[in-house]
Structure 1
Amino acid sequence: MLERHAELLHAFSRHLGAERGRSQHTRRAYLGDIRHLLAFAGEQGIQQIDELRIGDLRSWLGAQADAGAARATIARRAASARTFLRWAEHTGRIAADPSLRLVAPKRQAHLPEVLRQGEATALLDLAAVRADDDDPIHVRDRAMLELLYASGIRVGELAALDIDDVDRSQDVVRVMGKGSKERIVPFGAPARRAIEAWLAVRPRLVGEHSGPALFLGRRGRRVDTRQVRSAVHELLSHLPDAPDLGPHGLRHSAATHLLEGGADLRMVQEILGHASLATTQIYTHVSVDRLRRSYEQAHPRA
């Protein structure tokens, strides 16, 4: 069934990119979910997508739940199926959308794990000490971590930055976020100094395929998100009391520390590039949760 629908999947991918502005990573996730659905349908003897019914979709989600899939995974796949089948109906590929009454389990609201302010400082101090050696990768890692924590941008946004996206005269960075929405995000003097130090040694890694990329790998190509994650995990491994977070943990930490410092919630929403204020509000819960833990540890009658 998957081979027969290769052209359909390609058309859906074009729709996600050209009409909905979804990133390559998001398109890959959508297509993976739809391939999973089509494979399941084929096992049930369903040969064409216009044969899918609401019961088939529910059976698909139920099979995943029985196999132990996380609630978040099931919810995401249900959302992918709804997007795909709505598109198929609008383009005349099916007569009616069978997913209209499809209900997936709600995602469990987990508070994101974050660094304490002292832990964030220790991490960046360690990165600065490492950057004092003669390895340009260590200078790059310091600049990446400083910018991630200072701006709260996503790891994919960081990897996509070009040199001209950073305005060191105003200490702001131009970021292309989700849905191809551009935003301007400020950063502080420590991040500017780290970026300037990196730009001074960047020519040592420049190669044929470097182009305008701000951050480069050891072979001269644009840094990828895996390299950024590796740098964050490796440096955090030297702080045994700190949680093992990835780049997104630095984003969570930046947002939490901004709110703890008195920043307005809507300002944090703008910095993070959240479409909905409700998404940003989780950080108010993180701050209250941290406050409660500190109170319980410190107050004799907590």
Structure 2
Amino acid sequence: MTQQAPLTRGELLDAWFRHLTHRRGLSEHTVRAYTGDLEDLLTFLGAGPQQSAPVTDALAGLDLAGLRAWLACLDASGCSRATIARRSAAIRTFSSWAAREALTSSNVAARLRSPRADNRLPNVLTPAQARALLDAAAQEAEQAREHAEAAGTRSAEREWATSLRDAAMLEVLYATGVRVSELCGLDLPDANRRERTLTVLGKGGKERVVPYGTPAARALEAWLAQRRVLVSPRSGDALFVGARGGRVDPRAVRGLVHRMAARAGAPDLGPHGLRHSAATHVLSGGADLRSVQELLGHSSLATTQRYTHVTPERLRAVYDQAFPRA
């Protein structure tokens, strides 16, 4: 009888990647994070970094104590509670899958507990700071237009188109509160320019429709009028095109938000901070939690409650309006 070849690190990671992508339908960002978490665990368990390294013995020796030791090591190295909680979730998902695939004898992570979530809110801009950030992007686009008209070169025209794209992405991020992965995944047909709505594909393949306002509409129209300058055969129907002609990369969007925050003199934050700012401002303007939940695409209202907070002024206004003995 021929002995079966041991499972290698590369084969395990490939199978895990396919499961997360095709069976679970997780976002590219989550798949990348969960795959990295498994890689880190395998290294901790002594499975070599080479793709050809065998992992059969490491999986056979996997137990709850080992998983707890791994998490303790992460905590000692300075990982945040949010990171450790995410890695716990990743490995619980992996353990369940590995047991079903007979890669392990049982679901060893079934009793693995995550640390209490860190409920500190991310940085949030004031409405004035958000306006300054968006104005800075618009000013940069205007300066690029003036330079393009004066220079008349292909490179200057590309610089103008890029700055229009950047201004449009920032306006859409703030106007809709979409995640950066959702923004980068938008296609041209997803934008209903007459109704001023975007059809967004969120986590778990869930689709939602979000509105946007006049400033975002103007910025989007200005970008689409110049989109052809950056388009290449790789662009497809991507709404936002990157410098090399393909779909814009989330890292480029994160860099843009950081750069424009610095230019505007606003607190440093990333796209998620802009998303949180948008939700906070919508809530402060009178929206209810359920509406904000729909806007953000949260499956649980509890998640929305963490990412939105009511200002004392708004709480007082609602109380005075609604309570009969205010």
The change in CA–CA distance for 1:53 and 1:218 in structure 2 (over 3 A counts) is closer
Using the TM superposition, give the Cα deviation of residue 118 of structure 1 relative to its aligned residue in structure 2, in angstroms.
Answer: 1.0
Distance 2:308 2:233 in 1: 46
1:233 aligned residue (237, 258, 277): 258
Which amino acid in structure 1 is aligned with residue 22 of structure 2? A
| Number of aligned residue pairs | 290
Using the TM superposition, give the Cα deviation of residue 185 of structure 1 relative to its aligned residue in structure 2, in angstroms.
Answer: 0.5
Using the TM superposition, give the Cα deviation of residue 130 of structure 1 relative to its aligned residue in structure 2, in angstroms.
Answer: 2.0
1:121 aligns with 2:146: no
1:189 aligns with 2:199: no
1:252 aligned residue (276, 289, 292): 276
Distance 1:58 1:86 in 2: 16
1:93 aligned residue (99, 103, 125): 103
Distance 1:167 1:190 in 2: 15
Q: Which residue number corresponds to residue 16 of structure 1?
A: 20
Cα RMSD between the aligned structures?
Answer: 2.3
1:34 aligns with 2:38: yes
Using the TM superposition, give the Cα deviation of residue 28 of structure 1 relative to its aligned residue in structure 2, in angstroms.
Answer: 1.6
Contact 1:54 1:99 in 2 (8 A): yes
Contact 1:46 1:52 in 2 (8 A): no
Using the TM superposition, give the Cα deviation of residue 43 of structure 1 relative to its aligned residue in structure 2, in angstroms.
Answer: 6.9
User: Structure 2 matches for 1:125-136, cutoff 5 A?
Assistant: 125-132=135-142, 133-134=144-145, 135-136=160-161
Contact 2:179 2:271 in 1 (8 A): yes
The change in CA–CA distance for 1:219 and 1:11 in structure 2 (over 3 A counts) is closer
1:243 aligned residue (263, 267, 275): 267
Distance 2:251 2:306 in 1: 26
Q: Which residue number corresponds to residue 292 of structure 2?
A: 268
Q: Which piece of structure 1 moves more, 281-290 or 151-160?
A: 281-290
Q: Which piece of structure 1 moves more, 157-166 or 215-224?
A: 215-224
Q: Which residue number corresponds to residue 162 of structure 2?
A: 137
Using the TM superposition, give the Cα deviation of residue 191 of structure 1 relative to its aligned residue in structure 2, in angstroms.
Answer: 0.7
Distance 1:48 1:120 in 2: 50
Distance 1:3 1:96 in 2: 17
The change in CA–CA distance for 1:218 and 1:89 in structure 2 (over 3 A counts) is closer
1:63 aligns with 2:63: no
Using the TM superposition, give the Cα deviation of residue 289 of structure 1 relative to its aligned residue in structure 2, in angstroms.
Answer: 9.9
Distance 1:65 1:284 in 2: 28
TM-score scaled to structure 1, two decimals?
0.89
Contact 1:259 1:284 in 2 (8 A): yes
2:93 aligned residue (83, 89, 98): 83
Contact 1:111 1:286 in 2 (8 A): no
Q: Which piece of structure 1 moves more, 169-178 or 23-32?
A: 23-32
Q: Which piece of structure 1 moves more, 196-205 or 72-81?
A: 72-81
Q: Which residue number corresponds to residue 297 of structure 1?
A: none
Which amino acid in structure 2 is aligned with residue 251 of structure 1? R
Distance 1:233 1:5 in 2: 36
Which amino acid in structure 1 is aligned with residue 202 of structure 2? G
Distance 2:275 2:264 in 1: 18
Distance 1:234 1:257 in 2: 22
Distance 2:102 2:19 in 1: 14
Can you list the C-alpha shifts for 1:83-117, whole angstroms capped at 9, x where unaligned?
11111112222221121222232221111211101
Contact 1:159 1:222 in 2 (8 A): yes
TM-score scaled to structure 2, two decimals?
0.83
Distance 2:14 2:122 in 1: 35
SS at match of 2:268: coil
**Identity across matched positions, percent:** 53
Distance 1:69 1:227 in 2: 25
Q: Which residue number corresponds to residue 295 of structure 1?
A: none
Distance 2:94 2:202 in 1: 23
The change in CA–CA distance for 1:93 and 1:43 in structure 2 (over 3 A counts) is closer
Q: Which residue number corresponds to residue 233 of structure 2?
A: 208
Distance 1:289 1:8 in 2: 53
SS at match of 1:42: coil
Which amino acid in structure 2 is aligned with residue 124 of structure 1? L
Using the TM superposition, give the Cα deviation of residue 291 of structure 1 relative to its aligned residue in structure 2, in angstroms.
Answer: 8.1
Distance 1:8 1:227 in 2: 31
Distance 2:66 2:269 in 1: 38
Which amino acid in structure 1 is aligned with residue 25 of structure 2? G
Distance 2:172 2:201 in 1: 15
SS at match of 2:38: helix
Distance 2:31 2:211 in 1: 29
Q: Which residue number corresponds to residue 51 of structure 2?
A: none
Which amino acid in structure 2 is aligned with residue 162 of structure 1? D
Which amino acid in structure 1 is aligned with residue 10 of structure 2? A
SS at match of 1:22: coil
2:202 aligned residue (177, 186, 196): 177
